Structure 1
Amino acid sequence: MSGSNGSLLAMTTPQPPDGGGPYYHPPSDTETTEAVGGMPPLAGLGKRLTARIIDIAIVIVIAVPFGLIAFFADRHDRNLVSFVGSLSAMLVAFVYEGLMLTRSRGQTVGKKLMGLRVAVLADGSVPEGSPGWTRAAVWGLPGAIVCGCLWWAIDGVWVTWDQPYRQALHDKAAKTVVVEAR
């Protein structure tokens, strides 16, 4: 490339704040099947939603026994049963998401079934350590403050208008994206 074209490219390629390599660039609408910069294309919304529904179902199945224990321990205190049920769902969601992302190559069960994975935005790597647990915390823990279902709905629909990376709020916090697994 000539110097002026190279300079123009450098000016239009956003760089991560830490000075590392260029951020991942999602494919344009016309090139959705091609990898860009060595990273697979962003996951489609339908696949992401299906993967999340599967993961939420798993969290509910794991959390229900805790709510049942609270129910049978004190059937008259509905507030306690509700609190224990909400708290257990929030904690199960956090641990499930964190362990799966950091120990299963960036994939939860739902993402594995749908052929997706989570990637670090800056370099496409698996979100091991802090990015995986940050993503899990922002997905699972706000349910303690805001009704869990309401938080998950807001967080989940965020991808429908976020551009250019289609990130949910938990993706933004962890600087991750959801891509096709190859």
Structure 2
Amino acid sequence: MTSPTDPPANEQPETRQVPQPPPQPETQPETQPETQPPSLQKPAEPQQPASPAYGGAWSAPGAGYGTVLSSGSDYAAQPPPYPAGAGFPVTTVGGYPLAPQTDRLLARLIDVAITYVPNFVISLIVLVVPIVVMVLTRVEQPVWYVVAFVAGFSVSLLLNLLVVYYYEVIYQKQKGQTFGKLKMRIKILELETGAPAGTRALQKRFLAEYCVSMALVIPVLGWIVGSIASFYNYLNFLWCLWDKPYQQCLHDKYAKTVVIKVAE
């Protein structure tokens, strides 16, 4: 006899399902980067310094990156080179290009204008003042007027030469350039040494350039000597147009000098 609470004989007891956790994704094991032996590793390339901005300082060649030359070093004292194809001649003397003929002409005109002012004042005083005095004192003999003119002319010529000598030789030796050459940035160098022209070289230039030309204004030498001096005067200044390779005038050849273009 069975109890009412007993399950039927053919009925299986109910089983309770236990929830399972969700499957985890498979993870790959982390791989460490392969490292090469130090002997096989590529050395790091050195960093190149950037070009300096305008006005910056460059490093010395061979002195290593970041080494800046001082302003007193020999390398920094070198003149800045002119870029190729800047319109200057290829021939150089002492690292400087030859001066263009136009710059030399303009410098000469400036120098002539500077020396003309004192020479004009000197000539006016020496020539005019004696004649005015003779007129005021009522000198009647014409011969004295001729003597006064010839004497005044000779003194005026001598003083004019002294003014030009001081400017072209003494002043230029002290300053390195005349005012006209300074404005046109040209300078005279000795061809054999490349050094600035010394007193002896400047004296030779003065003798060949001015003393011979003064024969043009001395009437007593006659027209033949005056014609020769006039021809030489033109030939002297035009010679640099076809002279090779240093573009020298005749007074440059006599003094063994050359005119160059400077940066400052």
Determine if the TM-score, normalized by the shorter chain, exceeds 0.5: yes
- Aligned position for 1:73: 129
Q: Is residue 138 of structure 1 aligned with residue 208 of structure 2?
A: yes
Report SS of the residue matched to 2:171. Answer: helix
Distance in 2 between residues matched to 1:94 and 1:178, nearest whole Å: 19
Q: CA deviation at 1:55?
A: 0.8
CA deviations 1:131-163 (Å, max 9, x no partner) are 122222222222343449936443222212222
Structure number having the greater helix percentage: 1
TM-fit CA distance, 1:45: 0.7
Residue 106 of structure 2 corresponds to 50
Look up the SS of the partner of 1:124 in the other structure.
coil
Cα shift readout 1:103-156 (whole Å, capped 9, x = no counterpart): 122x11110010100011122211122112222222222234344993644322
Unaligned runs of 5+ in 2: 1-84, 132-144, 219-228
- Counterpart of 2:3 in structure 1 is none
- Distance in 1, Cα, partners of 2:102 & 2:259: 12
- Provide the secondary structure at the position in 1 that maps to 2:97: coil
SS in 1 for 2:259: strand
Residue 181 of structure 2 aligns to a residue whose secondary structure is helix
TM-score normalised to structure 2 length = 0.51
Are 1:171 and 2:241 counterparts?
Answer: no
Q: 181, 201, 209: which is aligned to 1:111?
A: 181
Tell me which of the two structures has the higher relative contact order, counting C-alpha pairs closer than 8 angstroms and 6 or more residues apart.
1
Change (3 A) 1:152 1:143: same
Q: 1:161 to 1:90 in 2, by over 3 A?
A: farther
Of 116-125 and 133-142, deviating more is: 133-142
* Contiguous gaps of at least 5 residues in structure 1: 1-28
Q: How far apart are 1:90 and its partner, in Å? A: 2.7
> Does structure 1 residue 32 correspond to structure 2 residue 88?
yes
1:130 and 1:61 mapped to 2: Cα distance? 27
SS in 2 for 1:119: strand
What amino acid does structure 1 have at the position aligned with 2:248?
Q
Evaluate the alpha carbon distance shift between residue 147 and residue 158 of structure 1 in structure 2; reply closer, same or farther with a 3 A threshold: farther
Instruction: Name the CA distance, whole Å, in 2 between partners of 1:64 and 1:31.
Output: 38
Q: Whole-Å Cα distance in 2 between the matches of residues 59 and 128 of structure 1? A: 21
- Corresponding residue of 1:160: 241
Partner of residue 221, structure 2: none
Cα distance in 1 between the residues matched to 2:128 and 2:217:
23
Identity %, equivalent residues: 29
Give the number of the structure whose alpha-carbon radius of gyration is greater: 2
